[in-house]
Amino acid sequence: MSDTERIGAIFSDNLDNIYALISIPFAEADLHERALQVRVFEIFMRAGLKFADMSARREEAHALLEGLDRALSERARQADAGGVEGR
């Protein structure tokens, strides 16, 4: 279930109504609205952290693959030049 679907399922509502809910200034919201606003904020933060973690992992994997490619290319150049014997 996606985060958008989870938000809709938790609140049994569509995203337009959820947007209207979180648009109410916190100081003007009643206790129930405040509780729902906090819950929506929590879900948004979890989704944001998940996306940030996924992005960081993608960047780390990309950097690792680039380093491996450089190392293997250098080793192949050395082997072609006769600097490294085949093992």
For 64-77, the pLDDT digits (tens) are: 889 888 988 988 88
DSSP character string of the chain: --HHHHHHHHHTS-HHHHHHHHHS-TTTS-HHHHHHHHHHHHHHHHHHHHHHHHHHHHHHHHHHHHHHHHHHHHHHHHHHHTSS---
The ranges assigned to domains in the chain are 3-81
pTM exceeds 0.85 for this model: no
For 7-57, the pLDDT digits (tens) are: 667 666 677 888 888 899 989 999 988 998 898 888 888 888 888 888 888
**Statement: residue 6 has pLDDT above 80:** no
